[in-house]
Amino acid sequence: MKLVILDRDGTLNPMGDDYITSADEWTAVPGALEAIARLNHAGWHVVVATNQPGLGRGLFDVVALNAIHAKMHRQLAAVGGRIDAVFYCPHAADEDCTCRKPAPGLLEQIGDRYGVERHDLRVVGSCEAHVQAGAALGAQVHLVCTGRSAQVVPGGPLPAGLPPGTLVHASLGDFVDQLLPLVPGAPATAAPLPAAGQGAH
């Protein structure tokens, strides 16, 4: 299985001033959903891994979180894409859990669930903690220059705090451009990877 693990806030939707607490507040970053659809059409599965400490702080509940993600799934389906699952950490920073990024626990759960070797995972996001979690897991890590990383310039110096070897892309669409071979007039196909066992969520 070919699997990309995306961050949510700043990668799929703008950061906003505070937590996104309702579906009405969720909007997609321009081009992000279409990029996911392109991945899907090339045979890639996509899973989201997101820290949601607002749950633990009582700022919103699981019903509200599910409604946010239902809206995301609907908008993605409208452009021909699909996210297989959303994994989230509900804990605040002081709760000392193993699933809050930059700890790799959440990403470990995803790799185990889908039966993908760590080094075959692509971990992609705009958040330093997401990239750090991917590096701790031994995955291939990619930063997109949206959200908190909007000031980062692809090809420039790697910002402090990012793991060595992090690949930098202007956007999620740019990541997909570089992942998939571009053959004019032909359907996009993914770069070959070793096959791995499949899982389900």
- Give yes or no for residue 179 having a pLDDT over 80: yes
Q: What is the arithmetic mean of pLDDT over 33-43?
A: 97
Determine whether 9 is an active site residue.
Answer: yes
Per-residue pLDDT of 68-118, as tens digits, reads 999 999 999 999 999 999 999 999 888 989 999 999 999 999 999 999 999
> Strand 122-125 relative to strand 140-144: parallel, antiparallel, unpaired?
parallel
Mean pLDDT, the chain, integer = 89
Determine whether 17 is an active site residue.
Answer: no
**Rg value, the chain, Cα:** 16
Q: Answer yes or no: are the C-beta atoms of 11 and 127 closer than 8 Å.
A: yes
Q: What is the pTM of this model?
A: 0.88
pLDDT of residue 108: 97
pLDDT of residue 183: 39
pLDDT of residue 17: 73
Q: What is the CATH number of domain 2-179?
A: 3.40.50.1000
Bridge partner residues of 6 (DSSP): 48, 124
C-alpha separations of 71 from 27, 44, 60, 169, 201 in Å: 9, 22, 16, 26, 19
pLDDT of residue 182: 52
